[in-house]
A and B are shown apart, each in its own frame.
Chain A
Amino acid sequence: MFERITSSKEGKGRTRLPLTRRNGTLLLLMAFFCQLGLAACGDNTNTASTGAGAAATTAAGVAAATTAAGAAAPGGTIQIGLITKTDTNPFFVKMKEGAEKEAQAKGAKLLSAAGKFDGDNESQVTAIENMVNAGVKGILITPSNTKAIVPAIQKARDKGVLVIALDTPTDPQEGTDALFATDNKKAGVLIGQYAKAAMAGKPAKIATLDLAPGITVGVLRHDGFLEGYGIKNGDAQIVCSQDTQGDQAKGQTAMENCLQKEPGINLVYTINEPAALGAYTALKAAGKEKDVLIVSVDGGCTGVQGVKDGKIGATSQQYPLKMATAGVDAVVDFAASGKKATGYTDTGVTLITGKPQTGVDAKDIQFGLDNCWGNK
């Protein structure tokens, strides 16, 4: 999903150091690098077994992993780059898992990198440059800053690298060769329709817990929800709208504030499941959790569990694993045939609920758990 912002003397010393101290420093440093598996230290085997001491355990691990990966990437191996917004968000962890598995299956090698925080453009630029120098055939990227990343992507494309955006389009969308992502408008429409049916004509007081101003994904889901519900922005039934950055704690605060403003809220749209679970916590504290329907987007395993537990009424499930798999396949195809993937590929979205409504297509909780973020 987009904007996964879920869940960082002796100056007085009048003499120069005697040589022995210098040697000490050097020896320490050299010892460290020897442990890194440096061939120049005399042992050319580059294996982990020669490492000794605490530092060596971790450092030798690096050396061993490197050797196994075949550092020079000789001739035939196709290299594929994957750059996510962060290393920590479960959504991207899932995506990386999928890409690694698929790359292994196709005999390709996956290089991965991520930003240090959501919105970290510079790290993503650096990763693109390094991957191009490493000789990748293609790069899969979830852009952190959809506009700022475009010039760096263009430079990579100019060097013949296939660039595919996963989950989040660049601005403009033509900034990449292709886009594999969820149809976010549709994800919103599905939960809007569900909410309309579930409310069964009752007068609604709606709170929308949105993403952040000006972020396309958030706008698409929000507008989709309203469309599915059959109302427009500015409708009197919408009594409270707050930004949550897709964060659970902020979702809770936003819901608390909305309840202060309008205690009679009975329908809550949330940008994602962390925001939904935050809203539920606030509603529960106010003793209103039974009277309020929460709808959301994501279909993560924790989120679907939330549906199962009755915290969330329904959620639109998306498939990051599919995005990653399709991305890897596209780069492998490109390497084989020279044909680049183009345009937008919808990786699908499914409504998951434990209380289906007539006239609204949905899958049950078991399906949701089996497929949470594309597990199967």
Chain B
Amino acid sequence: MSKVITPNQTEAGASDDTRRMLSQAFSVSTLGPLIALLIASAFFAIQSPRFLTGTNLSLVVQQVMVIGTLAIGQTLVILTAGIDLSNGAVMALGTIVMTKFATDYGLNPFAAILAGLIVCALFGALNGTLVTRLGLPPFIVTLGTLNIAFALTHIYSNEQTISDLPAALTFFGNTFKIGETAITYGTILMFVLFFLTWFVLQQTAVGRHIYALGNNPEAARLTGINTRRLLIMVYSVAGLIYGIAGLLLISRTSVGDPQAGQTDNLDSITAVVLGGTSLFGGRGSVLGTLVGALIVGIFRNGLQLMGVKSIFQVLITGVLVILAVSVDQLARRRQK
């Protein structure tokens, strides 16, 4: 399932580019989950006539857009062989900053959104700085910032849900129609972020450096990559993406909710793992993460349409995660 390319491949002729890009986008680690997604969809389509409708599929995408976007940031961190437990809490803090700034202080909504994004990016930078400067394990650092962000969210919001938001804050919850199907702008933003991140990871030097760092930090450093700066950048960009996820959450629920995001860290890791990205770093695709997030959403929706108790969705997600990690491990062992 290797999808890391060598410098030789990177410098390959332009004629190979398209073929290579396609094979990268749908390499085995992404292909497995994609096929799982298609089979699950076929299964649910047979089981419920309501499943395979534009309205329902659009709804599923809408339901995964927050976790999906969080999982983009999580993928970046995991590719560097890190992990980010703080993302849901950082996102929640971002939503409270955005909604409170826009309502209580009457700030221009765009300034409020910017403030929220900055707070999230700064939290990411803090994670990155602690990981690199103090050499602390990402698990511990983000466990700490998880609690800090959670507490700040509750202190700052005073446990109050913030409602009656200006329209600009919920813009991404608005819809446009393709035929009979209403699609929210938020889902489009999520797709754009996925493809943008995928492009940067595959086609730019910085993207290749992230894979190199995840594979072997020492080798990456010796080849002249400033690994500390790169890590801080990765965590900061991830933070910024959590802020965008926060904006999508606001647009989805129309409120600033201090209780939000409490299990989103694990849910985003689930999406990354289901998408075939290795928790050991250096291997995986952000497009796989998109598929992973969709798998969770499809099962939740499909089982609900069938009338299966919601707890079975949790059970099946558990089985799928074990399956995905096993496949990853088998692939690693064979390549050694």
Binding site for B on A (CB under 8 A): 8-17, 21-22, 24-26, 28-30, 32-33, 36-40, 55, 58-59, 62, 65-66, 69, 71-73, 79, 87, 109, 111-114, 116-117, 119-122, 125-127, 129-131, 133-135, 144-145, 147-148, 151-152, 212-214
Contact = CB atoms under 8 A, between A and B. Distances in A.
B319 A55 contact: yes
A117 B63 CA distance: 18
Interface stretch (B112-120, B157-165, B192-200, B223-231): B157-165
B75 interface: no
A40 B42 contact: yes
Interface of B: 1-2, 4, 6, 23, 27-28, 31-32, 35-36, 39-40, 42-43, 46-50, 55-56, 59, 62-63, 66, 158-161, 163, 211-212, 214-216, 249, 252-255, 257, 259-260, 262-263, 282-283, 300-301, 303-312, 315-316, 319, 323, 327, 330-332, 334-336
A189 B246 CA distance: 42
Contacts of A33: 36, 39-40, 43
Contact of A8 (B39, B263, B283, B309): B263
Given A11-B214, A58-B315, A59-B319, A109 B307 contact: yes
Nearest to A12: B215
B214 A71 contact: no
B1 A62 contact: no
Given A10-B332, A10-B336, A33-B39, A213 B304 contact: no
A212 B262 CA distance: 18
B310 A127 contact: yes
Most chain-B CB neighbours within 10 Å: which of A25, A59, A145, A212? A25
A127 B163 CA distance: 21
A9 B212 CA distance: 10
A72 B47 contact: yes
B42 A133 contact: no
A69 B308 CA distance: 8
B54 to A, nearest CB: 12
20 contacts: A10-B335, A15-B2, A17-B1, A22-B28, A30-B39, A58-B319, A66-B47, A66-B306, A79-B307, A87-B310, A114-B310, A121-B260, A122-B260, A125-B252, A130-B59, A130-B300, A131-B304, A148-B254, A148-B255, A213-B159
Given A29-B323, A72-B48, A121-B253, A14 B6 contact: yes
Name the prevailing secondary structure of the B interface residues: helix
B304 A134 contact: yes
A39 B46 contact: yes
A39 B46 CA distance: 8
A135 B306 CA distance: 11
B35 A29 contact: yes
Contacts of A22: 28, 31
A29 B36 contact: yes
Contacts of B160: 214
